Structure 1
Amino acid sequence: MREADKLMIIWSSGDRDVALKVCFMYTNAAKKMQWFEEVYLIVWGPSAQLLSNDKELQEQLKIMQKNGVVVEACVNCADMYGVSDELKALGVDVKGMGKPLTDRLKANWKQLNF
């Protein structure tokens, strides 16, 4: 697989409209429409707290996961907000993200930030 077929989306915004009307919409479409072979959504910072408290976002997340989007979260961020367990219960891979992010950047993955 070419690196150009790999996309990581870093979602750090705590803004619900950004999540629903931009980030989640594109992330899901990128995988569902096969614009990229691999699509990773990285939950980082304030988005961790937003996701843990918003049922509609959680339902949209389940749809993305069902369509093949891999969802990860920064454990340090999630711990700061006290939501690691909630994210894990949603099927999010909560872990240290510094190294995976760096490796993907060095491998020239496509990247979007919301």
Structure 2
Amino acid sequence: MVAIDLGVRALVHSGLHNVHLHFYSDNQGVVGALRAGRSRSLAQNDVLRQLSSFALDHDIWISVSWVSSANNLSDSISRGVFPSHLSRFKFPPPLPSYLKGLLSLV
């Protein structure tokens, strides 16, 4: 959920707004939570709430589909390896305050 949140923030930071973003995730819990708008996990609900508010503020509609790990094109990105075509984005996006105690951007 945090990866999708940061992805949306990076896209908005690069100037995107008023769009439909479709994400693919190999995490069934994230897919289910985004589709349902809630999760059994309190931490995931906190991120989902912040993501939903941020997306609404920037006229972004988010949808998600599950993809197997073997077919997950963003697997390398989730491990910190960014393809050259992503260099046009302004990385890193500003880290939201609610995540500052949980992770750091390097």
TM-score of the pair, normalised by structure 2: 0.37
TM-score of the pair, normalised by structure 1: 0.35
Higher helix share: 1
Higher strand share: 1
